[in-house]
Structure 1
């Protein structure tokens, strides 16, 4: 039986990584850095080294520097357990789903163990990468993100804006000068102080203070 290891997996996914995206070390994670944001693609797979991998799909995420810098600045003075103020987290995005012509059932079950078996799933993975690039184009600005999220229900929003969604949404509203920012931010502060006393409440109050100070 042929041996299939991480090196082989990375050789395969490198074939469909978009131009201009740089793989991060020895992981199937590719980023493109722009002036105001970072575009991130990750191939997620079950790894059965030294035999095969099952490449289930990809995620596409955008880190908007301005959002995450504000978030981390407040986090440094009001830390929350499990969160690192030195990391620029994803702002929006998630798994690339519901792409026409992609056979997700095939991706979930097909073992990649050599070039021939990779070529079976390669067209489907390429469609996912193309969809990720379209996602990055569609949400190239915070205004694009804001306009789209305002059409969503709260559960849908929570799948699009990374958690804690209400707090990142608060930052986005402020940065795009949404007239509803004041009412929304006070609602979030009131809710967290009442229902989540402690770190989250303290953070939300400090975040509102920081955003209000921006004018």
Structure 2
């Protein structure tokens, strides 16, 4: 551990070095860009131990498709006792980058070499820069709601899709299928509602039924 003081101000200064073109760095330490139909957030995952150091270990992308979250919110606000919260800025999709970008050796380097000053930041920089580039490249490659839906459908397992969609997945997937006019929307939404009607969470079942009723009017 370094004898120097490493506070949030130092942390933000180092994040500024990594800021992608076209993005703004928030005071909370994430990069954001708001477009017409989506809001993008990029995070560098870090354990913050001010005034000593931080430990970086990955990056994450969150994308809010505003039309999806507006519909979600329109119905959700009538179900205040649901176990999950919601805001109009909630992410629709999430994706993380760690060993899949920098390899096991890079990931272990970040875990074992905490950033406490400019010298240690410079040592971590190549890995952090790779993580940022992967995040921005993903956002550049996948731009539309259809792109993200297709990406999710192409994932190999249900667990991977559950990590890609912000939870609750069934509600968001119902909305997206409806907005994209996916042919199996009616079958999917009916199956979701029927499944949750057999579960003990009565409030969530009622929310999904109300959501389906709303979507069917669009």
TM-score normalized with structure 2 length: 0.92
RMSD, matched Cα: 1.5
- Alignment counterpart, residue 173 of structure 1, candidates 163, 173, 177: 177
Q: Give the equivalent residue in structure 2 for 1:197.
A: 201
| 1:82 Cα deviation after fit | 4.5
Gaps of 5+ in 2: none
Query: Are residue 38 (structure 1) and residue 42 (structure 2) matched?
Result: no
Cα displacement (A) at 1:41 = 0.7
- Inter-partner Cα distance in structure 1 for 2:201 and 2:52: 49
Unaligned runs of 5+ residues in structure 1 are none
- Match of 1:151? 154
Structure 1 partner of 2:8: 6
Judged with a 3 Å threshold, the aligned counterparts in structure 2 of structure 1 residues 197 and 4 are, in CA distance, closer, same or farther, namely closer
**Aligned-partner Cα distance in 2 for 1:13–1:196:** 45
Paired residue total: 213
* Residue 54 of structure 1: aligned partner: 55
Select which of 157, 165, 169 maps to 1:161: 165
Which secondary structure does the structure 2 equivalent of 1:77 belong to?
coil
Alignment of 1:66-215 (within 5 A): 66-97=67-98, 98-100=100-102, 103-152=106-155, 153-214=157-218
- Distance of 2:6 and 2:31 partners within structure 1: 21
Report if aligned partners of 1:57, 1:128 keep a CA contact under 8 Å in 2: yes
Assess if the C-alpha contact under 8 Å between 2:102 and 2:131 holds in 1: no
How big is the shift at 1:78? Answer: 2.3
Structure 1, 122-131 or 77-86: larger mean CA deviation: 77-86
Aligned counterparts of 2:111 and 2:135: Cα–Cα separation in 1? 19
* Residue 39 of structure 1: how far off its partner (Å): 0.7
